[in-house]
């Protein structure tokens, strides 16, 4: 991992919370420093996300934006542990990834996984999961899933009509999203799924269990 931008290093040295855009490449995101595997123009941090983020102090990051990146990561569990470490209390991680029903996602030979409604609930304590519970023992890192939003395909005019009608219904609640994945997603596939998650500190976990 190599910090290329002196301004970012100065912010980290001063203890100033920073915002990171992971895998942003040459796509700027205002207010964010950009991290990528390749030293492209505009990249502030060069890093392989399959390795530890050793240049980032614990609690140094206020927000992370991660768009269509995690499907390329071989070592997802260790990366989530690192994101849990570097994001400060109250910080958020905004994630967009291909939904498992996206037919085009399988064509990309660099995709190693797909995502569904419950993916990040595997990193939440049962008390913070919806009515359908999933195992939470795969990782010690805990997150609060603040929101999940499914976005349907919009390639053709038919897709756009279906999306306009169905997508608002699908995202009414976790229950509707579950019903969509079980009954409709193969007929009306989704393009992507967006999660907003937040690291949950040990004290907050204890309070949620007590509640």
Domains along the chain with CATH numbers: 2-152+191-210 (3.40.50.150)
Its pTM stands at 0.90
| pLDDT tens by residue, 17-47 | 999 999 977 777 999 999 999 988 889 999 9
Tokens of 173: 């609640």
| pLDDT tens by residue, 55-82 | 999 999 999 999 999 999 999 999 999 9
């Amino acid at each position: 991992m190599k910090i290329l931008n002196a301004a970012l290093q100065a912010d980290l040295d001063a203890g100033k919370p920073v915002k990171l855009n992971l895998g942003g490449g040459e796509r700027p995101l205002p207010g964010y420093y950009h991290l990528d595997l390749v030293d492209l123009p505009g990249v502030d941090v060069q890093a392989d996300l399959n390795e530890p983020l050793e240049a980032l102090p614990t609690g140094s990051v206020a927000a992370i934006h991660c768009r269509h990146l995690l499907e390329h990561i071989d070592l997802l569990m260790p990366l989530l542990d690192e994101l849990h470490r570097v994001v400060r209390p109250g910080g958020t991680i905004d994630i967009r990834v291909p939904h498992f029903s996206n037919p085009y996602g399988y064509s990309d030979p660099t995709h190693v996984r797909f995502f569904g409604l419950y993916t990040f609930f595997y990193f939440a304590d049962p008390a913070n999961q919806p009515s359908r519970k999933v195992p939470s023992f795969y990782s010690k890192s805990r997150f609060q899933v603040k929101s999940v939003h499914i976005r349907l395909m919009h390639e053709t005019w038919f897709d756009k009509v279906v999306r306009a009608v169905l997508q608002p219904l699908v995202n009414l609640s976790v229950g509707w999203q579950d019903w969509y994945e079980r009954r409709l997603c193969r007929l009306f596939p989704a393009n992507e799924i967006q999660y907003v998650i937040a690291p949950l500190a040990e004290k907050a976990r204890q309070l949620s269990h007590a509640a």
